[in-house]
Amino acid sequence: MPCTPDMIERALLCASEFRLTSFTATPATVTPGQPVTLKWTTAHGGQCAATFRINGITVPASGSKTVNPLSDTTYTFSLQSQCNITRTLGRTTVDVNESSCRITSIPESLVRGQVISVVDANIKEFNDSSSNDLSKRTETQVEIDPLGISIKLRLEASINNFPNPDLNVDMKIGLGVGPGNTVSVFYRSFSVDVDWPWWVTAISLGITKIVEEIVEGRIEGKIKNQILESLKTQINNVAKQIPGVLASIQTLQDELRLKIC
């Protein structure tokens, strides 16, 4: 039910009753990834309830939490009362000194080689264990741009006594810094398209099941996951060669750029 004018007035009054008595960040100047303790207390003169947040994360009315900023960060303490009435109670800023940071790059060619190795190994494993075969119609395409890593697999499934379908796999992979300043690798998009020869007019249930097993069991069940794991391992290994904290990962044109501080 929409809020009535009276309900909105009470919500505004509720929000005005709260005040932030303290909000600190200790230490206030750090290097990237160094822990910072946020501590806060609030007070209010009424009986109404509100939800409190720091940069969108729900927190209790008073308390503390540890954060690990990778760049200059302002933490905003706000409340939300009924009728979605919000109010900012205070802010505190942590300055992050990046003067000791170093940049290292991973070229597209190395990433491409890692992906091709995973794909080739999976195709060989499948062919060694199945009466049906997989092959590459064209070489695996890997391109890095500011939006992530694009991978295109153009495969062909050889099915006994039946025309071979084409399997077109398109992936877009994103990267970031995860918990513990480790590499986070994830799919922004993933799709598999099965393309039969134009003159095939009927496909039996048995053939459909064979193709589904290739798509679900091999491509989605193994290749998809192993590409992520191999990229994560490769990037983490590069980062570990430089002492310090992994502060950021960027995908640029034809390269990955790591900032280590």
Q: How far apart are CA 67 and CA 211, in angstroms?
A: 48
Same domain, 85 and 198: no
Same domain, 90 and 187: no
Q: From the CB of residue 40, how many other CB atoms can be counted at a distance below 10 Å? A: 24
Same domain, 126 and 223: yes
Which tokens in the block code for residue 118?
């995973």
8 A C-beta contact, residue 228 and residue 114: no
Domain C-terminal end among 42, 63, 96: 96
Same domain, 128 and 254: yes
Q: Which residues does 99 contact at the CB level (< 8 Å), separation at least 6?
A: none
Domain with 68 in it: 5-96
Task: Give the pLDDT of residue 47.
Answer: 76
Same domain, 175 and 70: no
What backbone torsions phi and psi does residue 200 show, to the nearest 5 degrees? -80, 120
Domain C-terminal end among 52, 68, 96: 96
Identify the DSSP state of 215. I
Same domain, 50 and 164: no
Mean pLDDT is lowest, of 135-144, 145-154, 194-203, for: 194-203
Mean pLDDT calculated for residue range 86-94: 95
- The rounded percent of the chain whose pLDDT value lies above 70 is 100
> How would residue 122 be classed by pLDDT, with cut points 50, 70 and 90?
very high
8 pLDDT above the threshold of 90: no
Please write the tens of the pLDDT for every residue from 19-78. Answer: 999 999 999 999 888 899 999 999 987 778 889 999 999 999 999 999 988 889 999 999
**Peptide bond preceding 243 in cis form (omega within 30 of 0):** no
Same domain, 48 and 119: no
Query: Between the CA atoms of 28, 240, 184 and 107, what dihedral angle is there, to the nearest 10 degrees?
Result: 120
Answer whether 0.85 is exceeded by the pTM: no
Which tokens in the block code for residue 205?
């249930």
Same domain, 207 and 190: yes
Same domain, 141 and 83: no
Same domain, 89 and 109: no
Burial class (CB in 10 A: 0-12, 13-18, 19+), 244: middle
> How would residue 195 be classed by pLDDT, with cut points 50, 70 and 90?
very high
Which helix H or strand E contains 70, and what residues bound it? none
The structural domain count of the chain equals 2
Same domain, 125 and 91: no
Domain C-terminal end among 66, 96, 126: 96
The CATH number for 68's domain is 2.60.40.10
Amino acid at 32: P
> How would residue 203 be classed by pLDDT, with cut points 50, 70 and 90?
confident
Parallel/antiparallel/unpaired status of strands 36-44 and 63-67: antiparallel
Same domain, 237 and 184: yes
Mean pLDDT of the chain: 92
Task: Give the pLDDT of residue 33.
Answer: 82
Task: Give the pLDDT of residue 44.
Answer: 85
